[in-house]
Amino acid sequence: MANKMKLYGFNNLTKTLSFNIFDICYTRDNEEQNAYKAYIDEQFNAERVTNILKNVTEIIGAYVLNIAKQDYDPEGASVTIMISEEKVPKKFLDPSCNAGVIPTTDVVAHLNKSHVTVHTYPESHPRKGVSSFRADIDVSTCGTISPLKSLKYLIESFDSDIISIDYRVRGFTRDLNGKKFYIDHKIASIQDFIPKEIKDNYEMIDVNVYQENIFHTKMVLKNFVLDEYLFDITEKDLALKEKNKIIKEIKKEMYEIFYSKNY
């Protein structure tokens, strides 16, 4: 506590952690594609994603002010949680906020600089044998609480074959003498905040712009286990020629997403 920098007023730094998380699955036909999308839609519906984000809020040491959530037809979900650094007594809470208790009536989204959001996107194409699920997650805070604390939990909460992570710090805060500070913590890479047991499972690359406090890390799973990418069938059900074809298509899809390039 004695080593903390003394600030003038409120810490105005905005710290934003953005995720793209991809899950890949081989689907042989429209029937399997539809079954996979229905499975994903059930596994990551608005209610389950809301619980994940509420846990994120607790992990980073914030408090829920308001939650808005929505499932979509034919598939997908969105959740937004407005958070605060300090707990707000109910008598001071804006009447439009629900403090995390979701009413049965419609809820209007209420955003602030401190918020947690997720949007999910199941994806497939009738001419392609590979389907995917993408979750876009943003954890944005202002003040001293850090979204980086949620990295481990978020990676483990989704079936993450490919992960793209951005972290950036914006604004400035001042010390008692009026000197501006554009970041209030040390960071060389997002990887510094990911546990070793997770990093060991992924190939990782960084693109960082240190002078702008912008950090980017991409991750793709190292070990390939075919059964983990099949839906309603197992590797034992496949002839060798078909198995090799499926492996080639899945790996092609994974590396196209990882490098943002068609091969």
For residue range 97-151, what is the model confidence (pLDDT) as tens digits?
A: 655 554 433 333 333 457 888 888 888 776 678 888 888 999 988 877 889 999 9
Catalytic residue among 18, 78, 110, 119: 119
114 is catalytic: yes
Q: Which residue has the tokens 């839906």?
A: 231
DSSP β-bridge partners for residue 164: 20, 218
pLDDT at 119: 87
Q: Above 80 in pLDDT, residue 96?
A: no
Residues 255 and 220 sit within 8 Å (Cβ to Cβ) = yes
Rounded distance between C-alpha atoms, residue 185 and residue 252, angstroms: 38
Give the 3-state secondary structure of residue 171. Answer: coil
9-61 pLDDT per residue, tens: 567 788 999 989 999 999 888 888 888 888 888 888 888 888 988 899 899 88
Q: Evaluate whether 131 touches 37 at the Cβ level (below 8 Å).
A: yes
Residue 148 per-residue DSSP state: G
CATH number given to 14-259? 3.60.90.10
What's the pLDDT score for residue 75? Answer: 78
Kindly report the pTM of this predicted structure.
0.81
Q: What is the pLDDT of residue 114?
A: 79
Mean pLDDT along residues 77-87: 79
147: closest CA among 65, 206, 201, 81? 81
Lowest mean pLDDT among 78-82, 190-194, 195-199: 78-82
Point out the catalytic residue in the list 97, 142, 160, 164: 142
Specify whether 189 is catalytic.
Answer: no
The pLDDT, as a whole number, for residue 94 is 58
Eight-state DSSP code of residue 29: S
H or E segment and range at residue 168: strand 162-170
Indicate the pLDDT class of residue 69, thresholds 50, 70 and 90. confident
From 114, 146, 157, 164, active-site residue = 114
pLDDT of residue 109: 33
Share above pLDDT 70 across residues of the chain, in percent, rounded to a whole number: 85
Please state which of the ranges 63-72, 84-93, 196-205 shows the lowest mean pLDDT. Answer: 84-93
